[in-house]
Structure 1
Amino acid sequence: MTLPQTVKHITSRDVAARAGVSQSAVSRCFTPGTSVAAETRERVLKAAMELGYRPNVHARNLITGRSRMVGVVLAHLDNLFYPRFLQELTDALQAQGMQVLLFVADGRHQAELMEQLLNYRVDGIVLAATTLNAELAKACTAAGIPVVLFNRVAGDDIDRAFHSVQTDQEAGTAALTRLLIANSHCRIAYLAGNLESSTNQARERGCRAALAAAGQTLFAYGVGDYDETLAAAQVLKWFRTGQRRRPLAQCPDAIVVADDQMALAVIDTLRHTLGLRVPEQVSVVGFDDVPQAAWPSYELTTHAQPLPEMIEAVMKLLSVQLQGRDQQGTEPAMGQSIILQGHMRLRGSVRINSA
């Protein structure tokens, strides 16, 4: 029996010989972010193409001790804001030669999920729409894994070594609420997201603070938990008694919604289920500025999060921590909280007083 011939794997040494450069020069050409002369890069890439060379990423990672993977933890992929975040973060990481390892948290098996993250030996973790408990936070710190909280802040029981990037949530909803007050809305309701999330807590504080400054209080309050079905059901409770619609004087004349996804469901419910006009009879504002908010069928007034700047801040924080770990082998420095300013998108879902 004749054994099949073994296919010879082309190595960086073969490419270096063909290009007439050192093996380290070949390595630099295939390492994102390294400085290589244009002529050298051209010769190496030409030689690699002729030989059919592909860099062995796994072997390189074993040598460097880096997986070049960043674990991203999301709680709800159906939230319209987070697919945009995931796309832009992935693009930014891939531009630096890194890859995303996505984990979806259901809120019930956090310990198992974080164990998987640690087992994959990711270089960093970005937590969006979820949080770490104290025990797992300490495990990440002990393993020297940088953690950046996106769109939320660390709780009192979380290791303060973690960085965070967020928009000024409180100022955003305060500005939206002041817009409503300035345009003669006096029965303002707040539809909350997840009550345990720092994001919702800050947005609710902003709404209540703006009302208090104007001598008002919330007319109505409900919890949608960032879910369209729950948001729609809450609106029906405010505007109906059984199957009968209440007089408008007994209902909110404006609704501040904790995020755009619920706000879109609120508008649909007001218009198509209750037969009300938005904004003539009820104004609606949201938060995030997802692409659908600008659609002509919604024209949602909302607070836009500066996503490109937020991604840039996440990348910078990860880079600083990884460089520090590589150079010093120490645990991450004390966490830094970056709060960026968003801006209001004034559209057609708010009734504006005529001049």
Structure 2
Amino acid sequence: MTDATHSPDAKAPDRVTAQDVARLAGVSQSAVSRVFTPGASASKATTAKVRAAAEQLGYRPNVLARSLITGRTRIIGLVVAYLENQFYPVALELLSRALQAKGYHVLVFMASNATEGVSEVMAELLDYQVDGIITASVAMTNDLTTRCDAAGIPVVMFNRGQADPRLSEVTSDNIAGGHAAACHLIATGHRRIAHVMGWQGASTGRDRAQGFSNALADAGLAPVAMIDGMFSRDTAAQATRDLFGAPFDSGDRPDAVFVGNDHMAFAVMDVLRFELGLDVPGEVSVVGYDDVPLASWPAYDLTTIRQPVRRMVDATVDLILGQIEGDHDPHTIRIDGTLIQRGSVRDRNNHKDKDR
């Protein structure tokens, strides 16, 4: 006996349509459309009836068909250069959740900061016809910006700035943050302060270094050294060996290091303690930048500048959605961070704790 469900003459079940849902729910087809359109208004009673009917019939809206009608895919591309730094997984999770809450789907792409790698990823995102692009610490070339502009796809840079009037950007106030870190070290009695900088090819690294330098100059001090750590754990570790591995007299060795992000600061602390046998903070104080989750762990207990990541994410989402809706003016947003004091800085002004 032939199973009817496998018979070559058996018909495929008809696709459930919005009209079917509307009939069962006793509402108009436009009401069904409003219920399934993010941001559209529908009463609670209508929404309940429509969703109950849709669940009973097994209805799902056709996203592709809707995108053809509206010209919107409701997809945002997120491009990030690397995830080793804990700040970026946290930021990407918050960005993804915030965009999904607004009814947008998220495509995450990895790209190196090399021009070729970014160009390939951007070309693929344009093929997906995304509604907008958010870049996290990824540089935009003039050609890429022009192509996105010509395609009508807005770009918002997250945690990175760039001297291009067509681009919007959201960062913490990195100059103020670098200044605050240096001021804290000065206020706690440090005078021989070094800086393992973030990559100087990025605005974040340059701005934090500028704030640091300005604070030292205001206090009549000069940095012991300023070394580009490239936002790399290995590079920062080697910079620490170069700074502290030399045979310093006790009065010449740096007594503090400001590090351009927490990811590097952990490497600096590990080398100081476990390779060079120096006490943190007894002999060397360390300040980082970001306040990633690991910074509060007892193993590091790192004093750091907290990036206001939730406020940065909210501002980024508002910017990208506003530009999708027609606000084409570029915006530059700087959000103040906060100094988080923990145990990696020694107060050398305390008379009980002064060097004898």
Same fold (TM over 0.5): yes
Which residue matches 2:286?
284
2-structure distance, mates of 1:150, 1:280: 37
Larger displacement relative to structure 2 (70-79 or 203-212): 70-79
Q: Which runs of 5+ in 2 are unaligned?
A: 1-6, 352-356
Which residue matches 2:335?
340
Structure 2 counterpart SS, 1:226: coil
Which residue matches 1:264?
266
Query: Residue 135 of structure 1 aligns to which amino acid in structure 2?
Result: D
Query: Residue 103 of structure 2 aligns to which amino acid in structure 1?
Result: G
* TM-score under structure 2 length normalisation: 0.93
Give the alignment's Cα RMSD to 1 decimal: 1.4
1:226 aligns with 2:234: no
2-structure distance, mates of 1:257, 1:105: 25
Which residue matches 1:117?
125
Where has structure 1 moved over 6 Å in runs of 4 or more?
none
Residues 132-153 of structure 1, C-alpha deviation per residue, up to 9 Å, x if partnerless? 1111111111111111111121
1:35 aligns with 2:19: no
* TM-score under structure 1 length normalisation: 0.93
Alignment of 1:148-187 (within 5 A): 148-155=156-163, 158=164, 160-187=165-192
Alignment of 1:185-334 (within 5 A): 185-241=190-246, 246-324=248-326, 333-334=328-329
2-structure distance, mates of 1:248, 1:49: 74
1:4 deviates by 4.0
Match 1:135 to one of 135, 138, 143: 143
1:232 deviates by 0.9
1:7 deviates by 2.2
2-structure distance, mates of 1:3, 1:303: 69
Residues 198-227 of structure 1, C-alpha deviation per residue, up to 9 Å, x if partnerless? 010000000100010111111022222111
Which residue matches 1:327?
none
Larger displacement relative to structure 2 (24-33 or 195-204): 24-33
Which residue matches 2:3?
none
1:14 aligns with 2:20: yes
Query: Residue 154 of structure 2 aligns to which amino acid in structure 1?
Result: P
Q: Percent same amino acid at aligned positions?
A: 45
Which residue matches 2:350?
354
1:83 aligns with 2:79: no
1:249 deviates by 3.0
Matched residues, number: 342
